Amino acid sequence: MRPIETLLLFINLLTFFAIEVPLPRLVSWIGCAAPIALVIAFVQVLAEGPRWQMIPAYVLTGLFFLIWLLQNIVATGKPINRLVVSLAIGLGILGLTISIVLPMALPVYRFPHPSGRYEIGTVTYHWVDADRAEVFSTDPNARRELMVQVWYPAQGNSSSARAPYVQNVSALSPALARLAHLPGFTFEHFKYVTTNAIPSVPIATDKPSYPVLIFLEGLSGFRQMNTFQVEELVSHGYIVAAIDQPYAAASVVFPDGRQITGLTKAQMEPLTQQSLSPNEKAPILNGQIIKNGNMPYFAQDISFTINQLYALNITDPNGILAGRLDMKRLGTFGISLGAIVASEACHTDPRLQACLMMDAAMPAAVVQAGLRQPSMWITRPADTIRLERQRSGGWTEEDITQTLTTMRAVFEKSLPGNGYYVQVPGMFHLNFTDVTYFSPFTPQLGFAGPIDAQRAYNIINAYSLAFFDQYLKGN
């Protein structure tokens, strides 16, 4: 929790004891805790910003202040019924418990500082592929548009203002909440979460250029969903471009305010399965037969982004990245749906030189042909996936078999020494993303595995960095 929030909860606790428990003379100053708490509440709202998880604390602060006024200013001296006193104490304890647990359950969390020597800068671009129709739109004139956020090694210092975790929280929060069957405002507090990145800061100058990685989000995800991994890679001298893929992402907001809400898993699944396990009766999307599923189309987003990065390396409208992207050292990585897209892109675009895929089945075309590039798969054993199913649902035996056997099949077709298949026991699917930062109770809710969440991040970061360092930096 934030510092003034913590202070307010502590003063509320003192106020409760001051009201309910007779105090010795030495600590009689606590009798003024109620007005102090009211002042702190106002300061907290002004300095840190209000959030719905703190509403019980704000209400308690107000109630305690009213009780203090009654006790100290307009007290009648009449005895109070013991039942009323007991009820008030019980409600006070319940209120205090809720006011403390709720902001702890959904905190304004912070990302640990990455281990590399570079500070991190970030900037976002809006790119339109004028040569490609938007197949998910019913508008025949719609073109494919992408929002791409780039993180890069920077010259900033520890006192620089930090970038927010996500932009357009009001659009993203309802989309994420729907996935967990929660109220739309559940994640509104993300507007207060900051990262280690600095907006639009100059790029570091100790190297003439830096290798480039492209990150792909999972279905109903968002481009910042693996900030723990992105920031670690950037701090060690990589430029990372993360793509928000419309209709796959939870929500994409364009600079003119237009918003595209992603398709649900049920809507996207037939198209994805057509890429993973082709059916003679191909699915139809907006009147078009999607013979090869959605992966070839999504993979074109990566090729288009590579083209845009080449152009950005010549002229950057932000005056930051021109000439600093080493496009001869280019890799990609993704989680879940993003891993499937990454594998398809590596299969079709030889400009990608290293491919990292996390916890997803591989397309049929990739299974058949294998990958030319050095590749790594990070996943978990079948028993861990079954444990995830037991705790939070999903993951049929067919899903497990398809995921593990297709990854293993492509790995076994890799050139000797160029393929790595990593299984981490105890990791659930969401352990591959930032989600375990969202709440310390994700393991208890079945969203995270029995492995320590930070250890899972450390493992992913260590293998990711070692892999790309070997094949893009020659270490």
Per-residue pLDDT of the chain (475 residues; tens, 9 = 90+): 899 999 999 999 988 887 776 555 445 567 788 899 999 999 999 999 999 999 999 999 998 888 888 877 665 555 555 555 566 677 888 989 999 999 999 999 999 999 999 999 999 999 999 999 999 999 999 999 999 999 999 987 878 899 999 999 999 999 999 888 899 999 999 999 999 999 999 999 999 999 999 999 999 999 999 999 999 999 999 999 999 999 999 999 999 999 999 999 999 999 999 999 999 999 999 999 999 999 999 999 999 999 999 999 999 999 999 999 999 999 999 999 999 999 999 999 999 999 999 999 999 999 999 999 999 999 999 999 999 999 999 999 999 999 999 999 999 998 777 999 999 999 999 999 999 999 999 999 999 999 999 999 999 999 999 999 999 999 9
> Any idea which residue has 């606790």 for tokens?
13
| Cα–Cα distance measured from residue 385 to residue 94, given in angstroms and rounded to the nearest whole number | 37
CA dihedral 469, 471, 474, 475 (to 10 degrees): 40
Q: Closest Cα to residue 111, out of 197, 209, 238, 7?
A: 197
Buried residues in 422-447 as b, exposed as e (16+ CB within 10 A): bebebbbbbbbbbbbbbbeebbeebb
Question: Please, which residues bridge with residue 422 across strands?
Answer: 378
| Cα–Cα distance measured from residue 199 to residue 209, given in angstroms and rounded to the nearest whole number | 19
Q: Closest Cα to residue 325, out of 216, 168, 205, 212?
A: 212
Q: Closest Cα to residue 406, out of 346, 341, 454, 359?
A: 359
DSSP state letters, 368-387: HH--SS-EEEEE--HHHHHH
pLDDT for residue 21: 66
For 54, the token pair is 């703190």
From the centroid of its chain, how far is CA 53?
Answer: 20
User: Helix 82-105 vs helix 3-20: angle between axes, to the nearest 10 degrees?
Assistant: 170
Residue 138's contacts (CB-CB under 8 Å, 6 or more residues apart) are 286
pLDDT for residue 406: 98
